[in-house]
Amino acid sequence: MIEVLLVRTSLSRLASRPAAATLLAIAVAAVGLGPAASPAAAATIPAGAGSYSDSRPAGTSGPTTNTGAPVTPKLTTAARDKPVPTNDWWSSLAYQRYGDNPYSTPMYGHPLTYQAKASGLEVGYPTTPAIVGDGRQYEYAHKADLTVGLSGLNSPDTKADAWSDWTVTPYWADGSRTFRATIGHGMPFVYAKGSGGDARITTASAPTVFSDQGNVLGITVAGHHYALFAPTGSDWNVSGTAITAGLGGKDYFSLAVLPSTDALATYKKYAFSFVTGSQVAWQSTGGNVRATYSLTTEAKEGTERGTLQALYRHQWLHTTDALTPYTYVSPRGTMKVRESATFTTSQKNNGVVPALPASSGVDKARLTGYLNEVANASDPFSGAADTYWTGKALGRLAQLVPVADQIGETATRDKLLGLMKGRLQEWFTAGGASEFSYDKDWKTLTGYPASYGSDTELNDHHFHYSYYVYAAAIIAQYDQAWVADSAWGTMIKHLIRDTANASRTDSAYPFLRGFDVYAGHSWASGHQGFAAGNNQESSSESINLSAALVLFGSATGDNNLRDLGSYLLTTESEAITQYWFDASQQVFPASFGHDTVGMVWGSGGAYSTWWTANPEEIHGINVLPVTGGSLHLAREKAAIKRNIAEMERENGGPAQEWRDLLWQFESLSDPAAAKAKWDGVNGNYEPEQGESKAHTYHWINTLNAVGAPDMTVSGDIPTSAVFSKNGTRTYTAHNHGSTARTVTFSDGKTLSVPARSTATSTGPGGSNPDPEEPGPSTGNTFRLKSGGVLTTATTDPAGADTVASADGVNRDGTPYRPTVYEVKKVNGKVASGAATAFRLRVDAGTKVGLAPQVRVSYDLTGDGTFDRAETFRYFATDPVNGWEEYTQASGVQAVTGSLGELKNGTVRLEVWNALGSGTSQVQTGTDAAVLKIPYV
């Protein structure tokens, strides 16, 4: 199947292999892809000094099915003129990639999964991961628990009827019946509307009814609990695997997946508050990025307009909004439920700088020599012809412009700028060997020559165009006239509108084509035509676009564009941290034997790439390109160390092929180790094709001099960064504006930055360079961190987690829906005479009779079996608002097993309410939220 996979790729850098061109040609031939019929005569559309075509170049193709037939969006009449956001979690509703499937492939909304078929919508809730592909992939694959539709529905196809930021409404019609079902990310409900038949639920196996209230039915199918809601006055009838209800002249009904059977009453409250839309709003001020996620609803019965939303890990880690005790399983770890139509997240702005600051670590003469190797090369673009490889070459040059400027090599700087301008102008002028073409059906701008399905499958536009926008941002830093709308800026803005359009009313391009605001990251496939859903491999190239928006918006004075870039980068950074690198070690299944994935899928993740199993590239693909937008990776230094260690284990030794990328990655956590590897080679290596010796030398040696990025401090403009070494912080910021300004950092430091300049200063401060690394080297005391983590870090913000109700049952001694905190890969020897100790702050508010209780468990070898468990007596809270201290002094209630040496072990702390009927709170992120283990 390799030929088919190569054509379906969302990103296949096959040209990094000698036989790439041959392989791709075989792949195209294998599935019958060939040129489309000759297009009509093309018109040229002016765009400032540039232009694009309204018709594809002769001999090229646009979007096709897998057999090479042209394809147009599969939309209802009502949606036909609305730009469709390809590269989404539900894109197969609109893009019929496979001619024999006019419905959809599996769609992963989380917690629910879906697939359209002739009789309606399959709904599943996968809760058990499978490890496939020789242990290289984990997946929670779609498996239908039930199908929701109408009696007799037999539609010839399914179309996209309406959509908003993270919801979509597919549509079925068979001549007698019409059916719509609104679904979305984080939505435990399916909101159905239909005409011409009764509501019909077909279950995969005979259901067990646990509650029958007439129009409200609770059933269990395949171990999962669902509630079915028909209009008041209706009655559900169960006959084998068929469940039907007359709608009594109404056209609506709904269903929900329940976290437990006792949640039915809560979910019933919102059964008829139908979601009609979803929208995110963001703002970036004072070094922080806030985002509010809102659902709009319509009350089909009564007046209730609220709803329930399941938040992904990257969201609930950064919200202070109240959450219920309800949770769901997902491929992204635990989802937590909020009882509201809105929630807000807040994160520190991850800064982007045009270049690392000037430092004493860089030898000017040596760097000048490396710069000249690039600037004076016979072909600085290395033969690049298509959009992706041209972009890579532009990115390579763009990184060197501010470096040359920094050391006073202005002639080299200007030569590099001239090379970039010349190549961009070729692409931005229609009618030449390279150009951009607008597709009015798909409302997209595609560059030709295209590559990796950017034309025939609408893949990867954000990857390819990120380099063009980044190059333009660097040009704008030095030549404002070149990026004016009357010059070449209009074409750059077309690329931005194609990939990251902030407008929901633009008739030419969709809102945020590839960025999934709720999932927190982009998707690469334009058709989403896989059983595993959509996918994204190179999360770092998606970040490259966000960083480019920050720089381009700053350089052109477009603060809205700058702030969009900050929102996208900061959001996706946390998604990468959690879902690609599993930095908190709370996402990947325990049975998945890897610390990172090369690709995230709707159904899970894979330790792989589209084109190779080489560990260097599996790890490196989520690093490249290394730029001033890569600093965000330094937030989780322990994860970087684990990542590098795994690569070297899998590789059988240090990197050889993509060594420069991985050195630069390592330098974000351990600059000295990276420099030692650079020095060991002394420049005698072949750079990765988007890299240069000049940039790698400057990057590694600068960080060795100023220290790794200190992500505990942020500046009040997004083009700033802080580094820390041996107790000294280095502050840097670039001011793109025309007047001087003062940048204020979150630790109180101020920095005066002249107009259109970079400034750098130093001062005392700095954190442990490796605050997250557990084990003997960092002590035996762990803080509780929201998100279920025990950490040695002392820089996390204070917060609080909800502890679930005991539901009126005595739970003394037995954890019931506990709030769990863990740390993995701990090593240590038992300390003589020591004992487990903890200090927690708990609060039951004004609730009476609650009793938080703690159990601490030790898995000595990390094999998933806990060898020792210590249960402490509960703490009786008072019914007065305010924190109370709960410690091990309450006494040990029960102990099982024995302590022993921790070798790559796991330590777990569980908190639950032993008594009462209300929830309580436990504090996190402070010195009053700690566990001390008896180890040295």
Quick check: 63 and 457 in contact, CB under 8 A?
yes
Euclidean distance between CA atoms 26 and 10, whole angstroms: 18
Of 139, 117, 118, 119, the C-alpha closest to 128 is: 139
Cα→Cα distances 575→516, 540, 549, 842, Å: 11, 11, 19, 30
Q: What is the pLDDT of residue 777?
A: 30
Mean pLDDT (10-residue bins), the chain, 936 residues = 29 34 28 36 90 96 96 96 96 96 98 98 98 96 98 98 98 98 98 98 98 98 98 97 97 98 97 98 93 98 97 96 96 97 95 96 97 97 97 98 97 98 98 97 98 97 98 98 98 98 97 97 97 97 98 98 98 98 95 96 97 96 98 95 96 96 98 97 95 98 97 95 95 97 94 96 65 40 90 80 91 92 91 89 90 95 91 91 86 92 93 93 88 91
884 is catalytic: no
Amino acid, single-letter form, for residue 156: P
Q: What is the pLDDT of residue 49?
A: 98
Q: What is the pLDDT of residue 360?
A: 94
Catalytic, out of 537, 563, 670, 772? 537
Catalytic, out of 88, 541, 616, 660? 541
Of 27, 113, 52, the C-alpha closest to 602 is: 113
Of 145, 174, 181, 146, the C-alpha closest to 160 is: 181
> What is the chain's alpha carbon radius of gyration, rounded to the nearest angstrom?
28
Q: What is the full DSSP assignment across 749-787? A: -EEEE-TTEEEEEEEE----SSTT--SGGG-SEEEEETT
Query: Residues of 5-40 as b/e, b for ≥16 C-beta within 10 angstroms?
Result: ebbbbbbbbbbbeeeeeebbeebbeebebeebeebe
Query: Residues of 803-827 as b/e, b for ≥16 C-beta within 10 angstroms?
Result: bbbbeeeebeeebbbbbbbbbbbbe
Bridge partner residues of 821 (DSSP): 909
537 is catalytic: yes
- Neighbour-count burial of 276, counting CB atoms closer than 10 A to its CB (0-12 exposed, 13-18 middle, 19+ buried): middle
Collapsed DSSP state (helix, strand, coil) of residue 476: helix
Tokens representing residue 603 in the block: 């159904």
Q: What is the pLDDT of residue 35?
A: 35
Q: What is the pLDDT of residue 25?
A: 29
Catalytic, out of 174, 409, 460, 516? 460
910 is catalytic: no
Q: What is the pLDDT of residue 34?
A: 32
End-to-end CA distance of the chain: 52
